[in-house]
Amino acid sequence: MTRGEACNPPRRHGFPGFDSLAPLCYQHVADGVLTHTQENKMTDRIDWLTERQKGIGGSEIAAVCGLSKWRTPFDVWLEKTSPIEDSPPTLAMELGNFLEPLVVAKYREDTGHQVTTDLEAIAMADASWARCNLDGLVTLPSGDQGVLECKTAGDSRDWGEPGSDDIPADYFCQCQWNCVVAGLPWADVPVLFFDRGRRIECYHVAADEGFQEWMLETARQFWVNVQGGSPPQPSTGEEAAAVWPKHEPGKMVDADEDICLKIEQLKALKAEAKTTASAIKMIESALKVEIEDAEGIADGDKILATWRTSETTRLNTPALRAAHLELVAEFSNTTTTRRLIIK
């Protein structure tokens, strides 16, 4: 199978507006061909979230492997080990779900390939925690089959040439994961770009066995840690505070060369920031003296700076405490934090 067979030219599909696609989409729905919607895949969101905790899916694998632009391994670990909290889907998620049938319909129309949707979740036979949900299963005239992974994007800067596999790391990992879990050799990725005149571009990702083996091994170890309650190494200060919320009095970490270097770098940056903050304050003060009782400074019709009066209302905590100490105590809570201080 060649790339041209999968993303069958033309790869640049006109998409002047939703009106031209909607009748086609609704026709497929009426014919019973296109029945994949967020609602009929999982009517109960809590059930869906519960199922997600039982394994690693394609939308999570990039984060598990430390390759995600948006999430860390620790984020996914928390999702798998914490009590389920239902949160409403984001606007981007809702938009993607709403437009997915349109993208599928347009891909089917332009390529002529058979696309099967409304698919059940897939799990690997020898690793039931490795799971995926396919947007569609593509069948070529030759009988070869592949994954269909539909996307919408408002920013195309992270996407390469249509027809290539130059796509964002999160989606590349998702395609590789879905291919290995489903046992399929390639994935087509039709993308609706809002910053390219609402056009659909098609990308093609061929299975990379070496990369897939590395992903599976990384995910396998991650899943062992999930089941054992052992978190991955934190990658941010917030994650470190979540893992170690309190210190052990008297316990110290022996400084090695790398730690000493980090501390010296931080000292230098803090000193630079302090100098910069002082310089900023001096210039701001000088400008306020220049403005006097005016509203601001202008260069002809162009406003360069303003110093306007504003009013704020703040709670006078000392006065409240003096007058109603018991009330303050009733509505006060104690939080535990850790502060990094460089000596």
Res 63: pLDDT: 96
Mean pLDDT of 12-39: 36
Please report, as a single letter, which amino acid is at residue 79. Answer: E
Query: Parallel, antiparallel, or unpaired: how do β-strands 136-139 and 12-13 relate?
Result: unpaired
* 335 vs 182, residue with greater confidence: 182
Residue 199 CA to residue 13 CA, distance in Å, equals: 6
pLDDT tens track for 56-107? 999 999 999 999 999 999 999 999 998 877 677 777 777 778 888 889 998 9
Mean pLDDT of 262-277: 95
Taking alpha carbons only, the member of 96, 88, 76, 84 closest to residue 36 is 96
- What rounded mean pLDDT belongs to the chain? 85
* 3-237 to CATH, choices 2.120.10.90, 3.40.640.10, 3.30.2350.10, 3.90.320.10: 3.90.320.10
Contact status, residue 139 vs residue 113, Cβ threshold 8 Å: yes
On the question of pLDDT at 39 being above 60, the answer is no
Res 7: pLDDT: 55
Spell out the domain ranges in the chain.
Answer: 3-237, 257-330
Q: What are phi and psi of 53, to 5 degrees?
A: -75, -10
Counting beta carbons within 10 angstroms of the beta carbon of residue 68, is it exposed (0 to 12), middle (13 to 18) or buried (19 or more)?
buried
On the question of pLDDT at 6 being above 60, the answer is no
Res 3: pLDDT: 39
Residue 140 CA to residue 185 CA, distance in Å, equals: 13
pLDDT tens track for 144-180? 999 999 999 888 899 999 999 999 999 999 999 999 9
> Please, which pLDDT band fits residue 44 given cuts at 50, 70 and 90?
low
Taking alpha carbons only, the member of 224, 3, 253, 259 closest to residue 130 is 224
Residue 60 CA to residue 111 CA, distance in Å, equals: 29
On the question of pLDDT at 16 being above 50, the answer is no
Q: For residue 232, is the peptide bond before it cis, meaning its omega torsion is within 30 degrees of 0? A: no
pLDDT tens track for 227-263? 999 999 888 898 898 889 899 999 999 999 999 999 9
Res 198: pLDDT: 75
Q: Which helix (H) or strand (E) holds 78?
A: helix 73-81
